[in-house]
Amino acid sequence: MKIKNIGLTRRGLARSLVVPFAVLALGPLATAHAEPVHGGSMTMSLDPQPSILVSALNSSSPVYVVSSKIFDGLVSYDENFNLIPRLAESWEVSDDGLTITFHLREGVTFHDGEPMTSEDVAYTFMEILKQRHPRGKSTFQFLEAVETPDDLTAVFKFSTASPYVMRALAGAESPIMPKHVYDGTDVMKNPANTAPIGTGPFKFGEYERGSHIILTRNENYWDGDKPYLDQLVIRLISDSASRAAALESGEVQYGAQYVIPLSDVARMDANPQLEVSTDGWGYNTSVNYMDFNLRRDQWQDVRVRQAIVHAIDKDFLVDNVWHGFATPADGPITNRQADFHTTDVPHYDFDLDKAAALLDEAGYPVKEDGKRFSMTIDYSPSGDTYSQTAEILKQNLAKIGVEATLRAADGPTYVRRIWTDNDFDVNIFAASNIADPVIGLHRFYWSDNIKKGVAYSNGAGYASEEMDEILEAAQVEVNLEKRKELYKKMQQLAMTDLSTYPIVYINWFSVYDKSVKGLNQTALGVYENFANVYLED
Amino acid sequence: MEALSDFWRRFRRRRTAVFGLALMAVIVLLAALGPMVVPGSPWEIVGTPFTFPFVDPAHPLGTDVLGRDILRGILNGARVSLLVGLSAAAAALTIGIVIGACAGYFRGWLDDLLMRFTDVFQTIPNFLFAFVLVAMFGTSLVNVVIAIALVSWPPIARLVRAETLSLREREFVQSCIVIGMGEGSIIFRQILPNAMPPVIVMSSIMVATAILTEAGLSFLGLGDPNVMSWGTMIGIGRSALRTAWYMAAIPGVCILLTVLALNLVGEGLNDALNPHLKNR
């Protein structure tokens, strides 16, 4: 395990030291090569296969990957969450935060030739995102109306300031949809959901289920002579070993997130033709959490919860389960959201003696059979990392006399058991912080989000008046400094109450052929629209 | 006694059968004694992850992705695989024999009913059906055994029915009816003992199939996650197949050898019990 760490550090060093040097030394040569080239077809892998191709209606990751190429949003974000103009050229936010005015780009058309206007923007937010998007309902809950004084101006009116909305406007999360295609139809059943019509750099070509999706170049894209690629082929490959082989053989040139087994990353990294990069994940920042089901008797005493989290060996998990592609977590907000992240929270180091002492104190002594109590561990079925985390936790708990039983389940069973039946003791899962805590984090800690049947809501059943007050204040706070302060308090409280416990911050990565350029330039990563991507010959 | 030595004479006529039996004996011995010789839980993290076999004497077969000893896993897995194989086959035999014997002996509407019921089970692909059952009822070892038993009894029922249909017309059965023997006695004491040879042959194959099915379920993450079976080990090693092939290969070879041994024994039994081959 040591060797792997050295490998990563070495690469990190190489990136920080060698790159500036190389740029200095080879300056003229490098610029000569930096000129983007038109043409060519890029193949990327995707799994699992998306049910529809419009991310306004379905927020699962593969849908986002495809939809974001076909639909642009009002803006995009760089790695520091600065806004990059897309369909909106400029915008103004009123001082009270209740009005946001967007000035739209002129001459943008949908793939069917119809011009994109403020009517489309109003329809998208009011009729689709606010009604149909799984997160949009809460993100845009205070959005009262979108006024359209002229074709290129959209004025968003809020009943309560919603500063986080400015972070939910990228094409993946809030794609601008064609009103003329959807208005007056059954939105969920519209045929355009599987053959989308957007304004993005790529047009829908064909979708062969179980095989591939083909997107073709939008000749009339607004951004100069972009996109550079003639065609984007998205191959649906469900087996991770096959994806690794496809990347190595050059059959596939780009893949992201769960693309290859973590144990294969070192080998990919050593391949001179391939690049492994953790850039471009600012927007899609996953955290590996563990929920305590607070409805259960044995978790009522916080010392018992403390004991369990003291049995989590985060360093071992980072080295052996995540192969270095994770960071031990501090609070519930990932370190990639640098403005809200804080290390100033209670920490629970791996300490089995302390865990045992806490259980003694809490009235769970070791009984005659050598055990204190039994519990079950449920874990997300999406990938080996969660089952391995559960296996390791089980071993460590056994050492302090807590007998844990693992419960495996397929996807739908798992979701029903955790979020509908609430039938679990602890649950190990991952969720994205997305771009703003209101969008990605409130769902786990706000008592209003104890919703039976809503996957990835407050499954712990955590209800704290103090927490609710902080979250409700942070949601409407316009002043960034005050918001930061509120989220610091929020994280300290979360780490004291231990309902949803962050284990590690996951560092997703992408693997791509070195001939592919222009990837990972923004915080959107794989959810970017790929207008800047080109193939070097 | 004479019958037994006669049986053994015919069985050993096929060398591969004897080899299969010897192999089976070794596997059973490993399962029985192994965990005593190499003590400790197979889940315990004991070494550096990704240690290849024959590198570290403390872990002769290497360690898996999390540093668990593969030898411990193999020995414990042998117990699990054999246990699952035997109990699932036993359960399937019980269901199959009862249904097949009733259908074949009573015929008429009961036969129709039972055979249509059997058809229902036979038309669903075995593995998928087991998969669905385990997904529905939870991934415990008992549920896995029940699921495998529920999907594998139909061939037994068909076989026993066919045998019963022909046996019930023989003179010795007819004479039993004439002297007023009860139906239960006729079925269990007269017909079934005579119908057994092909069932015994089939049951050895059935144990092998059950082991394979369990491995398949575990490989897909639907085995009991608290039990280290060979299938579980292959599932664990799957993601590391390209970098550490031995993690999946070692338990894979174990399954291969066990299934092979059971099949060879099955062929030997067929030779020894099949009346048509008796005088060959």
CATH of the domain at A358: 3.10.105.10
A contact test, residue of B239, B241, B247 with most A CBs within 10 A? B239
Q: Which residues of B touch A245 (CB under 8 A)?
A: 242
| Contact residues on chain B for A399, CB-CB shorter than 8 A | none
The A residues from 300 to 329 touching B (CB cutoff 8 Å) are: 320-321
Angstroms from A394 CA to nearest CA on chain B = 9
Residue B43's closest chain A neighbor by CA?
A395
- Tell me the two tokens of residue A229: 């690629």
Rounded mean pLDDT of chain A?
Answer: 90
Nearest alpha carbon to residue A139 among A169, A98, A119, A112: A169
What CA–CA distances, in Å, run from B166 to B170, B174, B184?
Answer: 7, 12, 17
Q: Cβ A320–B226 below 8 Å, yes or no?
A: no
pLDDT 10s digits, A238-294: 888 889 999 999 999 999 987 888 888 888 999 999 999 999 888 888 899 999 999
Query: Which residue among A261, A390, A408 sits closest to B240, beta carbon to beta carbon?
Result: A261
ipTM of the complex, rounded to two decimals: 0.78
- Strand-pairing partners, residue A42, are A232
> What is the structure's pLDDT at A76?
95
B43/A407 CB distance under 8 A: no
Structural domain boundaries, residue A467? 286-506
In the numeric block, which tokens belong to residue B157? 């029922």
- With contacts defined as CB-CB under 8 Å, which chain A residues touch B238? 241
Cβ contact B225–A241 (<8 Å) = no
Domain of residue B79, residue span: 2-277
CA distance A276 to A511: 5
Mean pLDDT of B260-267: 92
DSSP 3-state assignment of A138?
A: helix
Task: State the average pLDDT over residues A373-402.
Answer: 93
Distance from the A57 Cα atom to the nearest Cα atom in chain B, whole angstroms:
28
Contacts of B243 in chain A (CB under 8 A): 263-264, 266-267
In a domain, A163, yes or no: no
Q: Give the CA distances from residue B23 to residues B32, B73, B77, B90, B261, in Å, rounded to whole numbers and listed in that order.
A: 14, 19, 16, 21, 6
Closest-CA distance of chain A to residue B90, Å: 26
pLDDT, greater one: A47 or A38: A38
Could you tell me the pLDDT band of residue B275, with boundaries at 50, 70 and 90? low
For the segment A188-239, what is each residue's pLDDT rounded down to a tens digit?
A: 999 999 999 999 999 999 999 999 999 999 999 999 999 999 999 999 998 8
- Residue A117 domain-assigned? no
For the cut 80, the answer to whether the pLDDT of residue A344 exceeds it is: yes
Overall domain count for chain B: 1
B42: closest chain A residue by CA: A395
Query: How large is the average pLDDT for residues A385-413?
Result: 92
The alpha-carbon radius of gyration of chain B (Å, integer) is 22
CATH of the domain at B43: 1.10.3720.10
Is A247 a domain residue?
Answer: no
Is position A149 within any domain?
no
Which residues in chain B have Cβ-Cβ distances shorter than 8 Å to A320? 49, 65-67
Residue A512 lies in a domain: no
Residues in chain A closer than 8 A to B50 (CB atoms): 263
Does pLDDT of B280 surpass 60? Answer: no
Q: Work out whether strand A373-379 and strand A426-432 pair parallel, antiparallel, or are unpaired.
A: parallel
The verdict on residue A150 lying in a domain is no
Which among B153, B152, B149, B183 is positioned nearest to B168, based on CA atoms? B183
Average pLDDT on B90-99 reads 95
